Structure 1
Amino acid sequence: MHLHDVWFVLIAVLWTGYFFLEGFDFGIGVLTKLLARDRKERRVLINTIGPVWDGNEVWLLSAAGATFAAFPDWYATLFSGFYLPFLLILVCLILRGVAFEYRSKRPEERWQRNWEHTIFWTSLIPSLMWGFVFANIVQGVKIDADMEYAGNLADLLNPYALLGALVTLALFTFHGTVFAALKTVGDIRVRARRLALGLGAVTAVLGLGFLAWTQADNGDGASLVAAVVAVAALVTAVGAVAAGREGWSFTFSGVTVVAVVAMLFLTLFPNVMPSSLNEAWNLTVTNAASTPYTLTIMTWCAGIATPVVLLYQGWTYWVFRKRIGTQHIADAQHGADTRPVVDA
């Protein structure tokens, strides 16, 4: 296996880690409207991810940085062709981080309500956009002989990409609902488990259609195995949450995310960005890669830094592993919640 193949796999792993972690993170943001009944319950949901949400986004920075260094032509074509979707995602991530930090800075009802609206929308929109972007990448876009994107935004608005957007929204929200059931106690936990059953059914219907479409258009034996694993894991996750086994349910909802992302990358390889105009113009792991010397240096750096990041994130999740409920949230003062929003 060549280094460019290794780095394709590593980038796939980084994106998988990002969607696994940020998936339930986004799901919790969406649940602030779907599940929480009042301000105290919204505070409980936000506190389940308060200590970890910013660390989860490190995976996105690593994935984008690795793509830039290992496959510069892929990075250039991808970010120019998907400029508007990526800009929308970036704005949402910025506003989302500001909302987490600023929500509790002032006690006024309107101030806090507006930031809560921001958390919801900046969780929902990226959940849609990531599926939209990756579905278009897998399906292929208009790339010319100069490795440049030759289409426009209208070319990206196709049924397959729109279905992909709905799948990631449903899957992330289901993943987040199971995480909420795992991390909370009391009535909100019971309602999260009930909501997860319905969301699991919706995700199964949308996901099955998307995976079947992907397999029919671009799949092979390996992608078929990943699709079967994704469906089996999702069914198991729904069954586990129905039985009150939130830990197993979260594990298998995570396996579902991993399997879906794995299928997308398996259908891509050895391409990194197929051309819908001419197969000869596809960006591949070979023609889009950096020099072997660059990839060698990157491999050494990744080998040193990756274990440190994994150990730190694992320690963070262990420290903040306990369940929380409304009884752990201090009563609002003067009609508002004044404690820091990231307290656990």
Structure 2
Amino acid sequence: MHLHDVWFVLIAVLWTGYFFLEGFDFGIGVLTKLLARDETERRVLINTIGPVWDGNEVWLLTAGGATFAAFPDWYATLFSGFYLPLLVILVCLIVRGVAFEYRAKRDDERWKRNWEHAIFYASVLPAFLWGVAFANIVRGVPIDAAKNFTGGVLDLFSPYALLGGAVTFTLFTFHGAVFAALKTLGDIRERARRTAGRLGLLTAVLASAFLAWTQVHSGNPRSLGALAVAVAALIVALLCNRSGREGWAFALSGVTIAAAVATLFLALFPDVMPSSTNPAWSLTVSNASSSPYTLRIMTWVAGIATPMVIAYQAWTYWVFRKRIGTHHIPGPAHH
């Protein structure tokens, strides 16, 4: 296996980690409107991700940086062609981070409500647009012989891409509902489980349709195996959620995300960005990669740093592992 193949796998792993961790972040943000009934419950939901949301976004920075260093032509074509959707995602992530920090800075209902709206919409848009982006990466976009994107913004919103966006939105919200059930106590925990059950059924329908479409269009036996794992994990996650085994349900919803991402990357390989104009102009792991020397240096750095980052983040989740409920939220006098 060549180093550019290794880095294709590593980038897939980084995106998997990002969608697994930031996925329930986005889901919690959506559920602040769909699940929480009052300000106290919204604070409970926000507090479930309060210690970890910013660490989860490190995976996005690492995935983007790794793509830039290992596959500069892929990075250039992707970020120039998908400039507006990615800009919207970036703005949402900035607004969302500010909203988490600023929401409690003033004891004013209108102030809090506006920041809560920001959290909701800045979670909805990225959850949807990431699916649109990856659907286009897998299916292909107009690229010329010089590796330049030649399409427009509307070319990115095909029926397949819109379905991909719907899948990531529902899957992340389901993942967030399972996480909320795992991390909360009392009535909100029970409602989170019921919400996860309903969302899981919708997700199963949409994800099955999207992954089947992907398999028919550009799949292979390996991607078919990953697709089967994704569907099976989602079904078992629903069963575990129904029986109140939130830990298993959360782990299996994470397996669903990982297997779905694996399906997309296995269907994509050896391309990194297919050309819908002419397949001969597609960007591949070989023609879009950096030099072998660059990849060797990156491999040594990643081999040392990555286990340390994973260990630290795992320790963070262990420290903040306990459930919280409305009785843990101080009243207005202590706010």
Q: Structure 2-normalised TM-score?
A: 0.99
Which residue does 2:9 correspond to in 1? 9
Which residue does 1:65 correspond to in 2? 65
Q: Once the two structures are superposed, what CA deviation does each residue of 1:275-304 show, in whole Å capped at 9, x if it has no partner?
A: 001111000000000000000110111111
**Secondary structure in 1 matching 2:322:** coil
CA distance in 2, matches of 1:302, 1:81: 28
Matches within 5 A, 1:164-313: 164-313=164-313
**Secondary structure in 1 matching 2:78:** helix
Q: Once the two structures are superposed, what CA deviation does each residue of 1:128-164 show, in whole Å capped at 9, x if it has no partner?
A: 0000000011000000000000111111110000000
Which residue does 2:316 correspond to in 1? 316
Which residue does 1:29 correspond to in 2? 29
**Secondary structure in 2 matching 1:272:** strand
CA distance in 2, matches of 1:279, 1:216: 17
CA distance in 2, matches of 1:157, 1:116: 28
Q: Once the two structures are superposed, what CA deviation does each residue of 1:290-325 show, in whole Å capped at 9, x if it has no partner?
A: 000000110111111101101110010000000000
Which segments of 5 or more consecutive residues in structure 1 lack a partner in the other structure? 339-344
Matched, 1:113 2:113: yes
CA distance in 2, matches of 1:76, 1:148: 8
**Secondary structure in 1 matching 2:321:** coil
Q: Structure 1-normalised TM-score?
A: 0.97
Which residue does 1:149 correspond to in 2? 149
**Secondary structure in 1 matching 2:68:** helix
CA drift of 1:71 comes to 0.3
CA distance in 1, matches of 2:226, 2:13: 14
**Secondary structure in 2 matching 1:175:** helix
CA distance in 2, matches of 1:128, 1:145: 30
Larger RCO (alpha carbons 8 Å, 6+ apart): 1
Q: Once the two structures are superposed, what CA deviation does each residue of 1:156-208 show, in whole Å capped at 9, x if it has no partner?
A: 11000000000000000000000000000000000001111100110011011
CA distance in 1, matches of 2:158, 2:332: 47
Amino acid corresponding to residue 81 of structure 1 in structure 2: G
Moved runs in structure 1, 4+ residues, more than 2 A? none
CA distance in 2, matches of 1:155, 1:127: 19
**Secondary structure in 2 matching 1:247:** helix
Amino acid corresponding to residue 120 of structure 2 in structure 1: F
CA distance in 1, matches of 2:307, 2:137: 30
**Secondary structure in 2 matching 1:36:** coil
**Secondary structure in 2 matching 1:293:** helix
Amino acid corresponding to residue 157 of structure 1 in structure 2: F
CA distance in 2, matches of 1:154, 1:86: 14
Matches within 5 A, 1:65-104: 65-104=65-104
CA distance in 1, matches of 2:103, 2:33: 16
CA distance in 2, matches of 1:208, 1:6: 29
**Secondary structure in 1 matching 2:133:** helix
**Secondary structure in 2 matching 1:134:** helix
CA distance in 2, matches of 1:157, 1:121: 19
**Secondary structure in 1 matching 2:136:** helix
Amino acid corresponding to residue 233 of structure 1 in structure 2: A
Amino acid corresponding to residue 269 of structure 1 in structure 2: F
CA drift of 1:261 comes to 0.3
Which residue does 1:132 correspond to in 2? 132
Identical pairs, percent:
72
